[in-house]
Homo-oligomer: A and B are copies of this chain.
């Protein structure tokens, strides 16, 4: 394995580890537990999972992998705060969609060669990317992995 490939594998392992832990926690949550708030007056677990699913779904076009699978989640879980709108999806379906979106991403990441990770993502202009080539796909995946860790820390408090 080349050094470049090893960098890519190490970063991908980090994504898979954090997503995998969240998969496991989510699978164990009952519908009732998903309605609990992470702390008094804070977001429900359900909202948090909807939010993470929508944010990850947005990564699909952002990383040039394909079309979004579930843009219908944005209005409730990105644009609006918790409880502003009724949940447009059941708990069972949300769990399925979380897996579907992340499987789509991880499957694509596993086909990436080292050079693919260092390509521009769609949210940065060619001009800005020329100035700062660290604004690449890898940066997006590391950022989203940290975002998931951030909310995972909150999710465990609801237990």
Contacts and interface: CB of A to CB of B under 8 A. Distances in A.
Interface of A: 1, 3-4, 6-11, 13-14, 17-18, 38-40, 42, 114-115, 117-118, 133-134, 136, 138-139, 142-143, 145-147, 149-154, 157
B142 A153 contact: no
A59 to B, nearest CB: 16
A14 B118 contact: no
Contacts of A134: 6, 9-10, 13
A116 to B, nearest CB: 11
Contact of A139 (B14, B114, B138): B14
Contacts of A38: 39, 157
Contacts of A7: 4, 7-8, 11, 114, 117-118, 138
7 contacts: A1-B133, A7-B118, A18-B146, A40-B40, A142-B145, A146-B146, A147-B149
Contacts of A39: 38-40, 157
Closest 8 CB pairs of A and B: A7-B7, A150-B153, A153-B153, A149-B149, A39-B39, A146-B149, A14-B142, A149-B150
Contacts of A40: 39-40
A133 B18 contact: no
A148 to B, nearest CB: 8
A151 to B, nearest CB: 6
Nearest to A43: B157
Given A3-B115, A115-B3, A10 B153 contact: no
A150 B146 CA distance: 8
